[in-house]
Amino acid sequence: MLAVHFGAGNIGRGFIGALLYQSGYHTTFVDVNDAVIQELNNKQQYTVILAAEQNESLTVKNVSGINSVTSPEKVIEAIIKADIVTTAVGPTILPVISNLISKGLRERINSTKRQLNIIACENMVGGSSLLKEKVFEHLTEEEQAACNDLIGFPNAAVDRIVPNQVNKKDLLEVSVEPYFEWVVDEPAIKGDVPSVDGIMYVKDLTPYIERKLFTVNTGHAVPAYIGHYIGYDTIYEAMNDINVQEIIRGVLAESGEALIQTYQFDRKEHQAYINNIIQRFKNPYISDEVTRVGRGPIRKLGPNDRLIRPACIYINVTGKTPSYLAKTIASVLQYTNSHDEEAIKLQQMIKEMGYNKTLQSVSQLDLQHPLISAVLDELDEIKVLKG
Ligand SMILES: NC(=O)C1=CN([C@@H]2O[C@H](COP(=O)(O)OP(=O)(O)OC[C@H]3O[C@@H](n4cnc5c(N)ncnc54)[C@H](O)[C@@H]3O)[C@@H](O)[C@H]2O)C=CC1
Ligand SMILES: O=P(O)(O)OC[C@H]1O[C@](O)(CO)[C@@H](O)[C@@H]1O
Burial string for 331-355 (b: 16+ CB within 10 Å, else e) reads bbbbbebeebebbeebbebbeeeeb
Fold (topology level) of 207-386: N-(1-d-carboxylethyl)-l-norvaline Dehydrogenase; domain 2 (1.10.1040)
| ipTM of the prediction greater than 0.90, yes or no | yes
Alpha carbon of 20 to those of 35, 165, 257, 268: distances in Å?
22, 21, 36, 34
Ligand nearest to the CA of 218: 2
Fold (topology level) of 2-204: Rossmann fold (3.40.50)
Which residue has a Cα nearest atom 16 of ligand 1? 9
- Cα–Cα distance between 204 and 188 in angstroms, integer? 10
Q: Nearest Cα to 296, choosing from 123, 86, 175?
A: 123
Identify which of 31, 37, 287 to mutate to test ligand 1's pocket (most ligand atoms within 8 A of the CB). Answer: 31
Where along the chain do the CATH 3.40.50.720 domains lie? 2-204
Q: How far is the CA of 73 from the centre of ligand 2 (A)?
A: 32
**pLDDT digits 0-9 by tens, 47-76:** 999 999 998 999 999 999 999 999 999 999
- Ligand 2 neighbour 293 (Cβ under 6 A): yes
10 annotated among ligand-binding-site residues:
yes
Where along the chain do the CATH 1.10.1040.10 domains lie? 207-386
- 8-state DSSP, 240: T
Contact 3, 83 (CB under 8 A): yes
Q: How far is the CA of 238 from the centre of ligand 2 (A)?
A: 16
The backbone torsions φ and ψ at residue 293, rounded to the nearest 5 degrees and listed phi first, read -70, -25
Q: What is the pTM of this model?
A: 0.94
8 annotated among ligand-binding-site residues:
yes
Q: How far is the CA of 53 from the centre of ligand 2 (A)?
A: 23
For residue 277, pLDDT over 80 is answered with: yes
**pLDDT digits 0-9 by tens, 237-250:** 999 999 999 999 99
- Cα–Cα distance between 16 and 27 in angstroms, integer? 10
- Cα–Cα distance between 50 and 146 in angstroms, integer? 42
Q: How far is the CA of 145 from the centre of ligand 2 (A)?
A: 35
Ligand nearest to the CA of 158: 1
The number of the ligand 1 atom at minimal distance from the alpha carbon of 121 is 8
Helix, strand or coil for residue 161?
Answer: coil
**pLDDT digits 0-9 by tens, 102-132:** 999 999 999 999 999 999 999 999 999 999 9
Q: How far is the CA of 374 from the centre of ligand 1 (A)?
A: 33
